[in-house]
Amino acid sequence: MTRFRILLLSCLLLTVASGTAQSSNHPDAAVGAQGRAIHDSAIVVDTHADTTQRFLDEGFDIGSTDPNDVGHLSLDKARRGNLGAEFFSIWVDPETNQGHFAQHTFDLIDSVYEQATHHPDRMMMAFSVRDIERAHKEHKLAALMGIEGGHSIESDMRLLRDYYRLGVRYMTLSWSNTNEWADSSGDMNDTKIQHHNGLTDFGKQVVLEMNRLGMIVDISHVADKTFWDTIAVTKAPVIASHSSARALVDAPRNMTDDMLRGVAKNGGVVQVNFFSGFLDQDYRNQMLAQEKDQTAAIQKYVDSLKTQGKPVNYIGVNRMEREWMAKIPRPPFKSLIDHIDHIAKVAGVDHVGLGSDFDGVSGATPQGMDSAADLPKITQALLDRGYSADDIKKILGGNLLRVFRQVEAVSREMQSHPN
């Protein structure tokens, strides 16, 4: 989720996002026979989609084949793109859910299960590497869940364990908001927010408890100091479920080359975010230039809803964000490949993967990347840049599966030797 924090006008450097259907007006890069064959032989894993908000707020059915639907993800689009596993984001807006983070977390978790229940022939809940492999053999989409933002645990370790028991397999330590125990990259310049200089002692305990449970530690969104504190304390490899490279685009949410090398040393993986505002500096500059007007327009809309006593939810705000983002020309497809390539060069090809942020960026993705059906174009583009079939398959999902397997092994080890 890369959205405006609706009610926070401090919106500073935040991870704005949006854009409407913005259909790409240049011809799709052709995927050749070799590219298609490599792509179809891989287990493709995407570690971040916000389609979950659509399930809950719009009643969206992932089985939809509506040709006018501008969403990034459906079972049909996943099939066309040979997407094998998706981590559905469990993102609780900290502004609109004050006082009931856990309840909203549970509601989102339920919405993913409900989709799987309605489509047992094409989708299954998955909780392990073995489940992902089984889903692949059965030609079903493996549905996993990752919590986006440590505020969901309400500073309660028991809730963290309950989320694991319900199937949550990663947690992003913070979203754009600093919580009680982890600083976020999203509000470091906001002097009204109480910061902790990274992770608090409780935050470090959360990381270790996640290691023990077998829940992947996700450092997307966190402040740089939180990142380094996490790397120092974790006993298992970490992921950045949806983050790109700061050397290419100067966004606080993107990772510096030192951080990329830190993840490599830790054995983890950085999953590249497809949001145009993280991939292309020109796009980002235009986005920041219109930010004040955009924020004011959305605030006006939210205020009018409140005046009318109507609820403020994701749908209306998302629609407005899409309209604003659509004003900015989409960056070329190569901007996405540039980030994959940069991370592969700095961290190594074993430490890069895909974390689309589908349905969480209000349509603002590069030209040619309109939905999960376009994933094979990434394979073709990497092939064109000289990547081997083996390396491409690592990027498409192999690296993530390796990290997940190691997280499972560390969990078994910690549980067999309790202190």
Using CB under 5 A, count the residues that bind Zn ion. 1
Nearest to 187 by CA among 245, 242, 253: 253
Give the nearest distance from C-beta 130 to Zn ion in angstroms.
28
Of the candidates 245, 255, 253, the one whose C-alpha atom is nearest the C-alpha of residue 361 is 253
Residue 255 lies near Zn ion (rule: CB under 5 A): no
Instruction: Find, among 102, 145, 142, the residue nearest to 122 by Cα.
Output: 142
For Zn ion, the nearest residue by Cβ is 1
Q: How far is CA 1 from the centre of its chain?
A: 6
Q: Between residues 1 and 269, which has the closer beta carbon with respect to Zn ion? A: 1
Q: Which of residues 1-20 bind Zn ion (CB under 5 A)?
A: 1
Residue with Cβ nearer Zn ion (1 or 352): 1
Q: Is residue 224 within 8 Å of 181, Cβ to Cβ?
A: no
> What stretches of 81-156 show up as alpha helix (H) in DSSP?
101-118, 129-137
Rounded to the nearest whole angstrom, what is the least distance from the CB of residue 17 to Zn ion in the complex? 9
- Cβ closer to Zn ion: 275 or 404? 275
Decide whether 12 or 410 has the Cβ nearer to Zn ion: 12
Q: Which residues, including other chains, have CB under 8 Å from residue 177's CB and lie 6 or more apart?
A: 5, 94, 149, 151, 184, 186, 187, 193
Closest CA to 242 of 5, 406, 17: 17
Q: Output 143 or 251, the one with its CB closest to Zn ion.
A: 251
In the window 22-51, what residues touch Zn ion (CB under 5 A)?
none
Nearest distance in Å: CB 365, Zn ion: 14
CB of 2 to Zn ion, least distance (A): 5
Quick one: 83 or 219, whose CB is closer to Zn ion? 219
Q: How far is the CB of 295 from Zn ion (least distance, A)?
A: 18
Q: Which is nearer to Zn ion, 318 or 380 (CB)?
A: 318
* Cα atoms found within 13 Å of the Cα of residue 140, Cβ hemisphere only: 20
252 vs 241: CA distance, rounded Å: 15
The site map against Zn ion for 320-339 (x = CB under 5 A) is --------------------
Cα separation, 273 vs 145, in Å, equals: 17
DSSP tag of 220: T
User: Where along the sequence are the contacts to Zn ion (CB under 5 A)?
Assistant: 1
